[in-house]
Structures are given as C-alpha cells and as structure tokens.
Amino acid sequence: MSLLKTGLSLSCRAAIFAEMKRSLSPENPPTKRHVAEIVPLNVGGKIFDTSPTTLLRSQYFHAYLEGRLPHGEDGDGRLFIDRDGSMFAILLNFMRTTKLYLPQQVIEERRHELLAEAEYFGMDWMAHRINGEISHFDMRPEDRKIRDEELLEICPLLDVFESDLSLKDPAELQCTCLPCGVERPSLSTSYMDFHKNFDDLIGGWLAAVSDIEGLCFAGGSVIGTLLGCPVGDVDIFLTGDPEEGKPILKKVLKAIQGSHSKELKGLLCIHIDHISTPYFSNIFRSL
C-alpha cells in the first residue's frame, strides 16, 4: 500500500511510517516463520507432497509416521510406494478433503480398482463411500459409540417406560424441526396399556405367540401405539436360523388367520443373514 495514495494527512502518514521502521528494527526482529512439515512421496513414479496429518487418514502410514516401521526411499529421499500413482492421487485427494470428487460413472467403471487401493492403504472410510454405505467415520462420536456397542452386543435396550422421554426444546435437537401446525406427540401410555392397545390393533393374537423366543414387533404401528395414535404397518422379525424360522413363522400366520375374519392365504419369507421377515398376503402361495 502506498502511503501517498491513502488520503491521510502528512502527520498521520509520518506516524505510520515511523511505526513501520520501528517494527523492522534489530530490537524488533520479524516473527520467525513456521515451516510446514512435509512428507515427500513417490508412488509408482508420481511425485506427491503432503502433510503427516493428511496421511493419518490412511492406516497404511500409521506405523511409518509413528517411527515404528522403516520404509524404503528413492534416490531423492522420498518415501517410495510401488503402487499405481494415478489411483493414489484419488486416495490422497480423499484424505485431504474426505470427499470423493469423481463422477458416478467413473466410480462404477473403476470400482474394483478403487476398492483394492482403499483396502491396501487401510481406508475403510473411502471404501464405504464407494459402496454407497453409511460409514461410522461420518457419525457423531456419541452415535459411533452406540454403533460399536451394538456390534459388540453390549448396548442395553432402551426402556421407554422408565426413560425420560419428555419433549425437548427444538433448538436442542440434532435435526432442526420443520414448521408444522400439528402438536408434537409424546408418550401417552404405560406398558400394560401399550400391550392391550397393540394387541387390539393387530387383532388380539399376541397371546398365541407369546411363547416364541426371538419374535420382534416393529414398524409404525408400534410407535403409533406408544404415542396414542395407532397407525402404520405391523412389521414382524424373527432372529435365528432362517430354516428353523419357517415353521415358527407359519405358527404366527396361523395365529393371525385365527383372529381375522378374512383368511390370509399366503406367507412370503425374506431371509437376510440371521433375520427372517414374513409378509402375509392373499396373493402369495403358502410355503
């Protein structure tokens, strides 16, 4: 900036110039610049420069950065990795931004290559993005803790009748509430009331299946009954061996048929891992 073009008075310009000279005097040396820490890389002949913080997003580099494992270098002292440099450029960009800046067509065409490189460099986060999965890396710490506890089967079920489920201020919620003229629902029943109301909703056949272990009810009908507005589907899940589950689900179907005036004629079972989900209909042929 030229002091001659600032429009300031002569005395003001003289004072500013004197302060600039004083700040540069030997008694006031300029602040020492911070030199960035750089990790030089040579991946398949392609040259990269990045920071240790960026590389920490790849498990491959943890041991090297922590000094636990030596690594080969090229003639210029760069860390040498014998992998595809063009693919590593994509991985490095993801480490820097946590974004996958690739057209979906490219992802589909090079999916196997991308997944192979993500596996080699220990980048599960990127693999989840490529596969269109929700990654635990994208979760809040408290949500990630719940997920990990569920995987280890140490997460206790929430007792909705003993927990504090009072309405919170919308400003305290994780997601902003959309404007709505409908009154916000709240828990309006005890367990005994819930059991009776839900049994009435589904047709009065809970007692006929009360001895079945691993049977789980879910869906909008459960939430609706808890909130005093019983609407929605009744979803039934059975945990265990799918093959052993077929006769059990047929027992559930028989209980439903016995409580409805309109007979249901079919049962369709969908098996995913160790969960069987029945769909009852007049269309499906009985198993």
Rounded to whole angstroms, the Cα distance separating 74 from 95 reads 23
The stretch 45-70 carries a mean pLDDT of 89
Rounded to whole angstroms, the Cα distance separating 137 from 121 reads 16
Q: Could you tell me the pLDDT band of residue 136, with boundaries at 50, 70 and 90?
A: confident
Rounded to whole angstroms, the Cα distance separating 281 from 279 reads 7
Chain position carrying tokens 């003289």: 14
Rounded to whole angstroms, the Cα distance separating 164 from 170 reads 16
Alpha helices in 60-140 (DSSP H): 62-65, 85-97, 104-109, 111-120, 124-130
Rounded to whole angstroms, the Cα distance separating 116 from 137 reads 19
pLDDT value for 91: 95
* Between 229 and 285, the higher pLDDT residue: 229
Q: What is the CA radius of gyration of the chain?
A: 32
Rounded to whole angstroms, the Cα distance separating 237 from 249 reads 9
Q: Do 252 and 234 contact (CB within 8 A), yes or no?
A: no
Rounded to whole angstroms, the Cα distance separating 138 from 150 reads 17
Q: CATH 3.30.710.10 in the chain, residues?
A: 39-133
Rounded to whole angstroms, the Cα distance separating 287 from 280 reads 11
CB-based burial of residue 116 (10 Å sphere; 0-12 exposed, 13-18 middle, 19+ buried)? middle
Range scoring the smallest mean pLDDT among 5-14, 17-26, 111-120, 174-183: 5-14
Q: What are phi and psi of 215, to 5 degrees?
A: -85, 130
Query: pTM of whole model > 0.85?
Result: no
Rounded to whole angstroms, the Cα distance separating 166 from 186 reads 7
CATH second-level architecture of 39-133?
Answer: 2-Layer Sandwich (3.30)
Q: Which two tokens stand for residue 165?
A: 């489920």
Q: Could you tell me the pLDDT band of residue 162, with boundaries at 50, 70 and 90?
A: confident
pLDDT value for 11: 53
Q: Does the pLDDT at position 279 exceed 80? A: no
Rounded to whole angstroms, the Cα distance separating 96 from 93 reads 5
Q: Does the pLDDT at position 121 exceed 80? A: yes
223-276 per-position pLDDT tens digit: 888 888 767 778 888 887 777 888 888 888 888 877 765 544 444 444 444 445
Residue percentage of the chain with pLDDT more than 70: 72
CB-based burial of residue 87 (10 Å sphere; 0-12 exposed, 13-18 middle, 19+ buried)? buried
Q: Could you tell me the pLDDT band of residue 88, with boundaries at 50, 70 and 90?
A: very high
CA 91, chain centre distance (Å)? 20
Q: Does the pLDDT at position 7 exceed 50? A: no
23-52 per-position pLDDT tens digit: 545 555 555 666 668 899 999 999 999 999
Give one word for 263, left, alpha or beta, with left for phi > 0 and alpha for psi -120 to 50.
beta
pLDDT value for 3: 41
**Of the spans 10-19, 63-72, 74-83, which averages the highest pLDDT?**
74-83
